[in-house]
Amino acid sequence: MRRRHLVGQRHVIGQRQLIAQPKRRSSLRRMVPVLVGLVLVLAGCADIPEQTLPQVLDFGGGQSTATSVPQPPKDAGPLDIVRDFVYASADPANNYASARAYLGGPAKDGWRADGAITLIGETFGTTPPSFNLRDANAGEPATWTVQLHGQLIGQVGVNHGFAPATGGLDRAVQVGQEPDGSWRIVGLPNGVVTTQATFLRSFQPVDVYYFDPSFSVLVPDIRYVAQEPISGLPSRVIDSLLEGPSAPLSNAAKTLIPPDVGTQTNVTEDDSGALVVNLAHLPKMTEHDRFLMIAQIVSSLAGVNSTAPVRIESDGVPLYPGRPEWRPADLPSSYSGGTNLNESEPGLVAEHGRLLSLKDGSPVPGPAGSNAYQVVSAAQSVTLTDAESELALIGQIAGGEQLRVQHWADQSSTVVYGAGQFTRPSWSPGYEVGGAGHELWTVADGQVLRAVANQQGAWSVTTVDATALAPFGPITDLRLSRDGVRVAVVAGGHVVVGVVVANQGAVAIQNPTVLRPDAVSKAVGLDWLGQDTLAVATSQASTPVVKLSVDGLREDPYNTANLTAPTVAITAVGAGPVIVADAGGLWESFDINEVWQPAPRVQGAGAVPLYPG
Amino acid sequence: MTLASRTNRLAGRAARLARRARPVAARTAIFIRRRWVAFGELWRRSLQVRVVTSVLALSSAVVFVLGMVLQNEITDRLLTAKEQAAEAQAATAQRTVNTELRGVNPGSDDLPSRLANALNSLTSSSSDDQQQVASSAAGAFEPVLADAAGQPDGQVVSAGPYDNVPAQLRADVQADKAAAQITTVTTAGVSTTYVVVGAPITSASQPMQLYLLFPLTSEQHTIAVVRDTLVVGGIVLVLLLAGITNLVIRQVVRPVREAVGIAERFADGHLDERMRVVGEDDMARLAEAYNQLAESVQTQIHQLEEFGQLQRRFSSDVSHELRTPLTTVRMAADVLHASREQFPGGLARSTELMVDELDRFEALLGDLLEISRLDAGVEELAPEQVDVRGLARTAADSVRGIIGATTRIVLDLPDEEVPADVDARRVERILRNLLANAVDHGEGEPVRVTVAANERAVAVAVRDYGVGLRPGEEELVFNRFWRADPSRNRRTGGTGLGLAISLEDARLHGGRLEAWGEPGAGACFRLTLPRHPRDEITDSPLPLPPADASPRVEPPPVELPPVEPEHPAEPEPAELDAAAERGQVAEVDATSPDPETLEQRTEAEPVARDQQAVLTPGNRPEDGG
């Protein structure tokens, strides 16, 4: 029995072993994939991961610069919303964020603000809304259509230049109610419409400079760039400069910067405080051309950067060999086009047939100062001293007037031309013909004349092609700008500015622009206050003297105090006071807000003041 | 050719290929299995293979882990260095771009060109059309500037490859946090992994984002080179280790193998084999110890041999020496015996006793001489072709002659002749001895002699139904002078050497003599002899234990432990029954028509049990001739 038991046990043990063996093998087999997986995981760890989660680093950017945009008042009605939207549209910051606060519904994302900015007069209307009955019936928030209408002034295009326009603006703006009851603009045409004054609060006029065709003088071209942020101004100025001359100047000014040149980096101050202009894609240029280009850049930046030197580079290396940094003082003063007044000898005045000095009232030496020629008007060429200057005199003779030319203190004069009536003559810098004092412009009996002296001093008179000015009416005053590129006339009471275009000896006035016909319609005289500014005397009682920007956007009336309308003559130059003549005499003013002061040395009515030019 | 036929042909070819591939796969599988088995064999048997394989496996694991650790470390350092440099570069670039974008106002400025210009300040290249790449201490990078919040319609104004900046990083940087991230970008099928560092730009009028994308291509290349180097180095290292281990283990294994060979030869009887002792190392000490062991074993074997020879010679000498005086005594005794009638009764009885004991003495001496001759190996086999049945009959007849009718001897012989090349005298002696022993212990039960043969061997089994053998006594019965019960009364007066001589005789034939017994069930002796003396016998034509023994005493065959495979001739129980049946039939046919044999056996069962119950160790049946 015992043996049997043992046998049985062994039998069982044997069975158990038989069962246990495959079990062990199967567990081993199960472990193989686990091991392989482990190996693969290890191998995977040893390689560079393909993807990780972001890890925050400790050099953060500090506080966000995002500023909160003021929201329109909750209780503003539809008309207020439209009005405020027009005002808010002037601020381009953050893609017109403040204007977008007035938008709702589909317009919020759909409104595009790029393109030209349309400027309207300060007084604009919003006609009362008319209900959209269908929307009201549908139970949806009512949509009101507000008509916005105003006086068109012009447009600031994508090149930041202003182009005047006339007429009225009429726009339909849909205003709807948001769920919270506040009104928002829900539908409007693309593009920015704002008033001129609000526009000028957000945009700053800057002059970018091009050259006249003879590359002798820098010609300003007015652009409007966003004021804020101020640190971005230089970049915007350079961007504007690189865009080339604006349309009115397009055939009268040249730029040395090829059209496809861009900036390599943004125009910013570097660590040393210099303003870095790094140009890209510059072709090969002569050193002189580079210098002229530098002159354009430095002059253009001078309006927004008074202190920092300008480092001009091309692809990271100085543009002008051996001279990386420039200041406006490094440029020859002749580039500025004779706008600087000779302080010690500040112009003349024609009074009672005599030419007197504005400085002390003393007469000009010679017959011109002694009423020999019956001088009613005159012009002095732009020179450093009176003694070097040439004089152009309009003298009264029987049945008409004569245009005479003489050197400053000469006893004799040359009669160049005779006609029934001359406008005050205007000296051209005459780059083409040998310098100041060799070219003279005037209007004789409505015809624009150009008198040119040859090398021997013989004068010849040609007619200037002024057909472009013909539609504006008879020309009663003409002033060449002191750089000789622009010409401003009073035609039919309006101020018209054109450019002088010389084409194979023939000279024409082209691209006429009427400046602010809404504000200036009775002009009597004008003079160049600067290269891009005019001082206009009018017979309008409310605005006897007006300062106009040459592009026609800005119109700033001078203080009317002390003046007696109408004014009859005006002269102006960059540095000196504007001098006007009215019935009471001569008055001078340095600023548009200043009260007119009597010119101290010359008194009496009928005097015609004239600065060189 | 139509498309269909072409398709058919293709399909047929594929099927043929598949058919051809199947046997190939099977063959490959078989080949692999064989190799595996061969390797398993080698693994079990060769210490060298085992050690070298283990070293290979373990060193591979170690090298792998080491390589992983190394590569991890290198990757980590490379990445950390790159990220730090990238971070520093990003901080510098942030300052530069902050300066560049100072005062930039989306809406009033041309934002795309401003951003492009700001990027220009980071890069030296001036070309706009190709991707801008700048170089720095942190390596080349591609800058990206973006104004994510600029446009009211959700569009992002950007310069550089803004799409490559991952969205998560954008979110972080737009939240005014500088952050770094690794990302992979696939452009035109080429995927590049970048470290992207983003930093907020705060100098413009609204927040903008600067990202620097540092490609990790060179780092990946470095890591690939490191990995390749590590892999090659690791493989070489592992192979070298394996080679070194192989060399080293051979130094150990070679003496061990030599020792194995020497020990095997020693076991084969070359007692003079000794190991070489070289040096003083462990192997030398092992060799020394082994040699001492071999020396001592050899000495003892020699001593035992000498002792055995001495004993055998002594018994042989004693037998010889006793023979001469015994002859004299015998003659004298025969004279006395012949004239015993003249002696008074007591004397005559003594004479008879003396003659009887002298007979025994003579037989004993004869046996002693026989066995000492067998021991000395001087006995020669004289084989001749005889019918074993005849030998069995002769032996049975001679034993019947001795014992008279006290015990029936049943012969169970095959019908046909059983020829074998045997020494008839010796075989007859063996059978006589076995029969005498069986009669001696048969308790009067009939003794059955069975003869069987196959093509290689003949077997004779002598079965009795006497007291049987106790477990373990199957081997002891062949010992010289062994008695199961020393006090047992002798009936046939065997010398105690009969079975020993029989065993030697069987061995002389190259045969076997085996015994089986169960207490109460009787015993069975089986002689198996090759038909030719040179033949090797593997199995026996007759079963042992006998077919009639198992069902009565042994447990049922199904519950038996697995039988040893060395007995392939072990018949199934069914065969056993069949054999028993045949035997009964043969017995009825061959020996006597007396049908009571069966009954006797069935009746003998309780008797045997009773005897077993009565028998004490003191009166166990005595074995031996």
Residue A109 at interface with chain B, using a CB cutoff of 8 Å: yes
**In terms of CA atoms, which chain A residue is nearest residue B95?**
A61
Residue A225 at interface with chain B, using a CB cutoff of 8 Å: yes
Q: What is the pLDDT of residue B498?
A: 84
Whether A559 and A589 have beta carbons less than 8 Å apart is answered as yes
Q: What is the pLDDT of residue B45?
A: 84
Whether A121 and A135 have beta carbons less than 8 Å apart is answered as no
Closest CB to A92: pick one of B108, B117, B198: B108
The 10s digit of each residue's pLDDT in B256-303 is 888 888 889 988 888 888 888 888 888 888 888 988 998 998 899 889
Mean pLDDT within B411-415: 88
Q: What is the pLDDT of residue B564?
A: 42
Residues of chain B with Cβ-Cβ distance to A95 below 8 Å are: 106-107, 150-152
Contact A265 B100 (CB under 8 A): yes
Report the distance separating Cα B445 and Cα B438, nearest Å.
Answer: 10
Q: What phi and psi values does residue B287 have, to the nearest 5 degrees?
A: -60, -40
Q: What is the pLDDT of residue B24?
A: 86
Mean pLDDT within A553-582: 84
User: Who wins on pLDDT, B303 or B617?
Assistant: B303
Interface test with B, best of A2, A95, A96 (most B CBs within 10 A): A95
The 10s digit of each residue's pLDDT in A89-115 is 888 887 788 888 888 878 887 888 878
Contact A61 B106 (CB under 8 A): no
Mean pLDDT lowest for which of A21-35, A147-161, B563-577? B563-577
Residue A233 at interface with chain B, using a CB cutoff of 8 Å: yes
Contact B206 A280 (CB under 8 A): no
DSSP track, A333-352: GGGG-S----TTS--EEEET
Q: What is the pLDDT of residue A40?
A: 66
Contact A94 B105 (CB under 8 A): yes
pLDDT at position B130 over 60: no
**In terms of CA atoms, which chain B residue is nearest residue A68?**
B206
Mean pLDDT within A298-308: 83
Closest CB to A93: pick one of B181, B205, B227: B205
- Minimal C-alpha gap between A286 and chain B (Å): 22
Beta bridge partners of A515: A495
Surface of A (28-47) touching B: CB under 8 A: 39, 42-43, 45-47
Structure confidence at residue A498 as a pLDDT band (50, 70, 90): very high
User: 3-state class of B51 per DSSP?
Assistant: helix
Beta bridge partners of A414: A405
Q: What percent of chain B has pLDDT over 70?
A: 81
Closest CB to B151: pick one of A52, A60, A95: A95
User: With 0-12 CB in 10 A as exposed, 13-18 as middle and 19+ as buried, what is B291?
Assistant: middle
Contact B117 A263 (CB under 8 A): yes
Residue A7 at interface with chain B, using a CB cutoff of 8 Å: yes
Report the distance separating Cα B80 and Cα A599, nearest Å.
Answer: 80
Contact A264 B120 (CB under 8 A): yes
End-to-end C-alpha distance for chain A, whole angstroms: 147
**In terms of CA atoms, which chain A residue is nearest residue B165?**
A54
Contact A232 B91 (CB under 8 A): no
Residue A470 at interface with chain B, using a CB cutoff of 8 Å: no
**In terms of CA atoms, which chain A residue is nearest residue B153?**
A109
DSSP H or E stretch at residue B607: helix B596-614
Which of A337, A368, A327, A328 shows the shortest CA–CA distance to A351?
Answer: A368
The 10s digit of each residue's pLDDT in B571-602 is 444 444 444 444 433 333 333 344 443 333 43
Contact B205 A228 (CB under 8 A): yes
Residue A290 at interface with chain B, using a CB cutoff of 8 Å: no
Report the 10 Å Cβ neighbour count for B565.
7
Structure confidence at residue B236 as a pLDDT band (50, 70, 90): very high
Report the 10 Å Cβ neighbour count for A577.
22
Which of A466, A65, A388, A304 shows the shortest CA–CA distance to B200?
Answer: A65
Buried b (16+ CB within 10 A) or exposed e, B76-91: eebbeebbebbbebbb
- Minimal C-alpha gap between A192 and chain B (Å): 11
pLDDT at position A512 over 60: yes
Beta bridge partners of A452: A439, A460
Report the distance separating Cα B39 and Cα B53, nearest Å.
Answer: 11
Phi-psi category of A8—alpha, beta or left, where left has phi over 0 and alpha has psi -120 to 50?
A: alpha
Contact B71 A58 (CB under 8 A): no
Strands A192-195 and A486-491: unpaired
Structure confidence at residue B619 as a pLDDT band (50, 70, 90): very low
User: With 0-12 CB in 10 A as exposed, 13-18 as middle and 19+ as buried, what is B502?
Assistant: buried
Residues of chain B with Cβ-Cβ distance to A94 below 8 Å are: 105-107, 150, 205-206
Q: What is the pLDDT of residue A495?
A: 92
Instruction: Please give the DSSP secondary-structure letter assigned to residue B164.
Output: G
Surface of A (414-433) touching B: CB under 8 A: none
Report the 10 Å Cβ neighbour count for B577.
14
Strands A400-407 and A390-397: antiparallel
User: 3-state class of A607 per DSSP?
Assistant: coil
Contact B152 A108 (CB under 8 A): yes
User: With 0-12 CB in 10 A as exposed, 13-18 as middle and 19+ as buried, what is B406?
Assistant: exposed
**In terms of CA atoms, which chain A residue is nearest residue B87?**
A57
Report the 10 Å Cβ neighbour count for B244.
13
Residue B624, token pair as written in the block: 């031996």
Residue A249, token pair as written in the block: 């100047």
pLDDT at position A352 over 80: yes
**In terms of CA atoms, which chain A residue is nearest residue B200?**
A61
- In the block, which residue shows the tokens 């019956």? A374
Structure confidence at residue A487 as a pLDDT band (50, 70, 90): very high
Dihedral over alpha carbons A333, A338, A342, A347 (to 10 degrees): 180
- Minimal C-alpha gap between B161 and chain A (Å): 18
Residues of chain A with Cβ-Cβ distance to B72 below 8 Å are: 45-46
User: 3-state class of A426 per DSSP?
Assistant: strand
Residues of chain B with Cβ-Cβ distance to A67 below 8 Å are: 205
Q: What is the pLDDT of residue B579?
A: 43
Q: Where are the beta strands (DSSP E) in B169-302?
A: 179-187, 190-201, 208-215
How far is Cα of residue A443 from the mean position of the Cα atoms in its chain? 30
Residues of chain B with Cβ-Cβ distance to A264 below 8 Å are: 117, 120-121, 126
Instruction: Please give the DSSP secondary-structure letter assigned to residue B570.
Output: P
Which of A282, A612, A255, A566 shows the shortest CA–CA distance to A425?
Answer: A612
Mean pLDDT lowest for which of B50-54, B87-91, B212-216, B552-556? B552-556
The 10s digit of each residue's pLDDT in A50-59 is 888 888 887 7
Residue A272 at interface with chain B, using a CB cutoff of 8 Å: no
Contact A59 B94 (CB under 8 A): yes
Residue A463 at interface with chain B, using a CB cutoff of 8 Å: no
Report the distance separating Cα B470 and Cα B136, nearest Å.
Answer: 102
Q: How many CB pairs under 8 A join A and B?
A: 202
Mean pLDDT within A472-495: 90
Contact A94 B219 (CB under 8 A): no
Q: What is the pLDDT of residue B32?
A: 92
Residue B29, token pair as written in the block: 């599988």
Dihedral sign for Cα atoms in the order A493, A499, A500, A502:
negative
Contact B179 A111 (CB under 8 A): no
The 10s digit of each residue's pLDDT in A250-300 is 888 888 888 888 888 888 887 788 888 888 888 888 888 889 989 999 888
User: Who wins on pLDDT, A338 or B396?
Assistant: B396
**In terms of CA atoms, which chain A residue is nearest residue B218?**
A48
Closest CB to A229: pick one of B103, B110, B117: B103
Please provide the average confidence, as pLDDT, over all residues in chain B.
Answer: 78
Report the 10 Å Cβ neighbour count for A600.
11
Mean pLDDT within B499-519: 87
Q: Rounded to a whole number, what is the largest CA-CA distance in chain B?
A: 171
Closest CB to A54: pick one of B100, B120, B172: B172
- Minimal C-alpha gap between A374 and chain B (Å): 57
Q: What is the pLDDT of residue A496?
A: 93
Contact A109 B153 (CB under 8 A): yes
The 10s digit of each residue's pLDDT in A411-441 is 888 888 888 888 999 988 877 666 667 888 9
The 10s digit of each residue's pLDDT in B302-360 is 899 888 888 878 878 888 888 888 888 889 888 888 888 888 888 888 888 888 888 88
Helices B47-100 and B217-267 cross at an angle (nearest 10°) of 170
User: 3-state class of A424 per DSSP?
Assistant: coil
Closest CB to B193: pick one of A48, A108, A270: A48
Residues of chain A with Cβ-Cβ distance to B216 below 8 Å are: 48
Residue A17 at interface with chain B, using a CB cutoff of 8 Å: no
Give B24's Cβ-side CA count (13 Å radius): 6
Residue A68 at interface with chain B, using a CB cutoff of 8 Å: no
Question: Tell me, what's the ipTM?
Answer: 0.71
pLDDT at position A31 over 70: no
Closest CB to B71: pick one of A46, A109, A225: A46
DSSP track, A12-69: HHHHHHHHHHHHHHHHHHHHHHHHHHHHHHHHHHTSPPS----EE-S----S----PP
